[in-house]
A and B are shown apart, each in its own frame.
Chain A
Amino acid sequence: MPKVDEELVKRVAFLSRISLKEDEVPVFAAQFNSILSYFSVIASKDLPAPSPTERLVDIRNVFREDKVCEQGRDFTYIFPNKEGRYIKAPKIV
């Protein structure tokens, strides 16, 4: 069980795209450690690997027919930043 250090917290924060203030980092590190150590009980438990098809409802093959509906509704009014009908987003680089 790894000890969660500030380096790991910063990496995970980037992975989650959540910017943290410097003073938040040690707080989260401490909380993660306490939570993960409580949860380490499952690490030692010997259990068979789960199947990716497992679901709470045992159904298969639910489909929608290839038809077009929902045409003509305008959603542009919900965009926070826009230019004409386009969404304005920050530059990539």
Chain B
Amino acid sequence: MSEHRIMIGLEVHAQLTSLKSKLFCSCSADYRQLPPNSSVCPVCLGLPGSLPRLNRRALEEVLKIALALHSQPASETVFYRKHYFYPDMAKNFQISQYDRGGGVTIAKGGWLDLQTGQLTKRVRIRRVQLEEDVAKIVYPSSLLSSEYVLVDYNRAGVALCEMVTEPDISSPKEARQFIEKYASILEHLGVTDTSLEGSLRVDANISIDGGERVELKNINSPKDVEKALNYEVQRQVMIVERGGKVGMETRHWDELNRITVAPRFKEEEEDYRYFPEADLPPIRIEASLVESLSASLPELPDQRAERFVEKYGLTSYQAGVLVSQKRLADYFEEMVRSGLEASDSADWLMNEILGDLSDFKKELKDLEPLINDLVKIIGMYEKQEITGKIAKRQLKQLIATGRLPDEVPTPMRDENTLAALVAEVIREHPEVYEKSKRDPKAMNYLVGQVMRKTKARADPKVIVEILKKALNKDSNNRLNN
């Protein structure tokens, strides 16, 4: 793959989940738990005679996103109608924006830097704009066999920010990094809770070796971005290496089968027939608004990472991982505020807790109600009231069940008890004991055996001390003999 020059551009739609109401009407935008078609009104249903009414905060949220991406806000911007017919479109046109023929989107230009080790890769932003979301289509059986579809307009009209990049991304991995970083920026700005289903959707344009562009749609989970792009790049590489040419087309990401497919029917090339939306007056973006939003921008991931390095002495790697998800960085800071050691907390989060969450199929946000208990456990470990192994086990249980186990097994440190157990283990494994004089791995094995006998309650440091003493005594005895 590395011999081929890959060019990827991304088009990312982020729901502005911070808004209470929809973009053009005052229906609730918090639609996910509601019965179908219960958060609707004449406007988002497109009833005859209805008119859109622009939500002030939506403009402000998109301006914040633009500022975070160093994108230049326009002085005047308008909405356009984008026409196509589909059952999820209440008016069969979407109120969106356009950057051609005199049209100006809310912001254009800008960049987002990706850090890999010492290298910085800059991805340029083309434009940032505001538009309305469409309804949800539900298939009673599968996509192919359903005789009809069911439509729910609860989501129709929710505010979306569309952000388009230049084709500066050079690999599927880089695309994943980009999406992660953008998601973290959105989280830090407080405009999108990216853990919500459907809150972040990605379309991509990919070409290799300067060939035709393939548009890839329907990557509905940001986690799938790298996989989808990998598949598509491989597909194009195979065509090219066989001497063929990649055709310009639109393909869809098939989540179920993990492949990209050309749509089953020939999509007529859509003519969107853009023209200005006369039901909404143009917007003049005042410099004073931009200034006040700029001044009150919250701390963004890059700044936060720098602060973590300076203030808490973390490595840039640790800081980078923590700020890649806002909640992770938040938990870190809470742990440190509660008195836990910084680098330790970072390691616990990165090396244990993230893995546990994944193992038990939990999400980062599920940790929120458990923070106090989490701090307690690690606190006890730091104060040596429990062993590391116990702490790990406790964390797993906390994450799996949401509760602390009732009994906290205290560490076994009593020298006499442990000495007896060590003697037992030495009797059971004499060859290993011999080896342990020279081989640290053999020593670890013996420690492990004692731990087993104590169900991990023994403090390994004490065991090691006892073993070392025994070994010294032995060698002294030999010397003396």
Contact = CB atoms under 8 A, between A and B. Distances in A.
> When A and B assemble into the complex, do they touch directly, with CB atoms less than 8 Å apart?
yes
Interface of A: 14-15, 17, 49, 51-53, 55, 57, 59-71, 73-76, 78-79, 83-93
Contacts, number: 123
Given A67-B20, A70-B25, A53 B78 contact: yes
Contacts of B102: 49, 51-52
Given A67-B20, A67-B21, A93 B276 contact: no
A3 to B, nearest CB: 20
Interface string B27-42: 1100000011111110
Contacts of B404: none
A15 B55 CA distance: 31
Given A64-B53, A71-B27, A87-B37, 19 more contacts: A52-B80, A52-B276, A60-B283, A61-B284, A64-B26, A64-B55, A65-B55, A73-B41, A83-B150, A85-B36, A85-B37, A86-B37, A86-B152, A87-B152, A89-B137, A90-B87, A91-B148, A93-B264, A93-B265
B172 to A, nearest CB: 29
24 contacts: A49-B102, A52-B80, A53-B282, A60-B283, A61-B284, A62-B54, A63-B54, A63-B56, A66-B58, A67-B21, A67-B26, A68-B26, A68-B28, A71-B28, A75-B41, A76-B37, A83-B150, A84-B36, A88-B148, A88-B149, A89-B148, A90-B87, A91-B147, A93-B144
B426 interface: no
Contacts of B37: 75-76, 79, 85-87
Interface of B: 19-21, 25-28, 35-41, 45, 47, 53-59, 76, 78, 80, 85, 87, 101-103, 137-138, 140, 143-144, 146-153, 264-265, 268, 271, 273, 276, 278, 280-284
A76 B271 CA distance: 32
B250 to A, nearest CB: 15
Interface of A is mostly: loop
Contacts of B26: 64, 67-70
A79 B11 CA distance: 34
B151 A86 contact: yes
Nearest to A88: B148
Contacts of B21: 64, 66-69
Q: What's the dominant secondary structure at chain B's contact region?
A: loop
A75 B90 CA distance: 14
A52 B20 contact: no
B146 A91 contact: yes
A22 B146 CA distance: 31
Contacts of B146: 91
B54 A64 contact: yes
Contacts of B281: 55, 57, 59-62
B268 A14 contact: yes
Given A51-B102, A66-B57, A71 B284 contact: no
